[in-house]
C-alpha cells in the first residue's frame, strides 16, 4: 500500500509535468504557426509538427489509459529536441529533466483511475 502523502505528491507531480509540457508545447506550436503562415521557412513548419506531436503526447500522458503511449511520444520529442539542441552546442538540461520525469511517471503509472485503484489493493509492491 502506498502512503496517502506519497500518492498525492505523485499525482501533483504527474499533473504539473503533463500540464507544463502541454502548455509549453502549445506555446511553441502557436509561435511556429505564427511564423510559418505566409513564409516558406521549412524550419517553422517542422517545429509546428513536432510541437503538435508533443502536445498530443502530453494530452495522452495525462489520461491514465493512454499514459504510456503519451509518454513514448513525449520521450521521442523531448529526447529528439535535446539531441538537436546538443548538436547546435546548446546544453538543455531542462529537457533531460522532463524526460526523466516522464520516464518516472511511465514506470509507476497513473496515481488515479481504475489501474491505480487496483495497484493500491494489490499485496505486491
Q: Could you tell me the residue ranges of all domains in the chain?
A: 4-15+31-121
Provide the pLDDT for residue 5.
87
Provide the pLDDT for residue 42.
81
- On the 0-12 / 13-18 / 19+ scale of CB atoms within 10 A, 102 is buried
Other C-beta atoms closer than 10 Å to the C-beta of 94 total: 12
pLDDT along the chain (125 residues), means of 10: 82 96 96 77 86 98 95 98 96 97 93 62 47
Residues 6+ apart with CB under 8 A from 112: 11, 64
Provide the pLDDT for residue 49.
93
pTM: 0.84
Provide the pLDDT for residue 124.
40
Amino acid at each position: 500500500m502506498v502512503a496517502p502523502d506519497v500518492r498525492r505528491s505523485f499525482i501533483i507531480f504527474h499533473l504539473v509535468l503533463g500540464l507544463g509540457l502541454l502548455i509549453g508545447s502549445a506555446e511553441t506550436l502557436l509561435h511556429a504557426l505564427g511564423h510559418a503562415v505566409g513564409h516558406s521557412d521549412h524550419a517553422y513548419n517542422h517545429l509546428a509538427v513536432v510541437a503538435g506531436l508533443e502536445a498530443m503526447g502530453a494530452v495522452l500522458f495525462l489520461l491514465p489509459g493512454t499514459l504510456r503511449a503519451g509518454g513514448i511520444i513525449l520521450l521521442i520529442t523531448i529526447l529528439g529536441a535535446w539531441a538537436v539542441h546538443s548538436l547546435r552546442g546548446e546544453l538543455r538540461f531542462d529537457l533531460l529533466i522532463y524526460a526523466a520525469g516522464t520516464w518516472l511517471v511511465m514506470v509507476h503509472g497513473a496515481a488515479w483511475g481504475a489501474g491505480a485503484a487496483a495497484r493500491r489493493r494489490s499485496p505486491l509492491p
